[in-house]
Amino acid sequence: MQFIAQVVAPTNETGRILWQIGMPFMLLCAGLGIVAVILRLLLDRLFTDRRGRLPALPEVHLNKKFITYAEAGFYRVLYQVVGDRGIILAQVALNRLLYFPGNNQTNPGKQMWRNKTGQKSVDFVIVDPKTLRPLVIIELNDPSHEREDRVVRDEEVAAILNAAGIPLEQIQCARQYDSRALMALLQPYFLPLDASRRR
């Protein structure tokens, strides 16, 4: 037995008027729905890679300024001085290192200082090899740090690190570094570690 479904227009005048108004509207909605589905499929295909999982990637390159030539040279000396007493992290973002508890009412200035540190990083962070807690931060000051904007930036970084209780050492960029002088500068930060190893 076959059933054939057909739409029968209403016979009374009111029903006929509603039918004439409603039917085109329903057809319009259905048409727009179909168009939206087709557009979504086309856009997904356009902005999805061949694997069908990720949006198509733009051209991207390694940032050659991630570590400058001067920073790389200082790192080699620093690595020899620190040895196994610490792990050296480079270009650490302050918004990963620090956090601001509470809100602007309980912690006045929170949002302003979070904005100030949001895009800033520090050159080197020496951390405890066991706990990975920061021992000292080192900023390598090249001639660019003499610019007015960099002076303000350095003052802000020093202030926020001091507020967080994290030591900061600023070292002038040079062609050569005195490893003994550098060791004498950093030795106090390693004393608690050295003492615990002797126990």
Tell the burial category of 64 from Cβ atoms under 10 Å away from its Cβ (0-12, 13-18, 19+). exposed
Report the percent of the chain where pLDDT is more than 90. 42
Least confident of 51-55, 118-122, 128-132: 51-55
Instruction: Tell me how far apart the alpha carbons of residues 189 and 195 are, in angstroms, rounded to a whole number.
Output: 11
Which H or E run includes 30?
Answer: helix 13-46
Q: Which domains does the chain have, with CATH numbers?
A: 1-59 (no CATH), 69-198 (3.40.1350)
Is the pLDDT at 64 greater than 90? The verdict is no
Q: Which of 165, 123, 159, 163 is nearest to 144 (CA)?
A: 123
Is the pLDDT at 4 greater than 50? The verdict is no
pTM, whole model, 2 decimals?
Answer: 0.68
Please say whether the beta carbons of 156 and 54 come within 8 A.
Answer: no
Instruction: Give the count of beta carbons closer than 10 Å to the beta carbon of residue 1.
Output: 2
| pLDDT band with cut points at 50, 70 and 90 for residue 126 | very high
Average pLDDT taken over every residue of the chain: 81
Instruction: Tell me how far apart the alpha carbons of residues 90 and 129 are, in angstroms, rounded to a whole number.
Output: 15
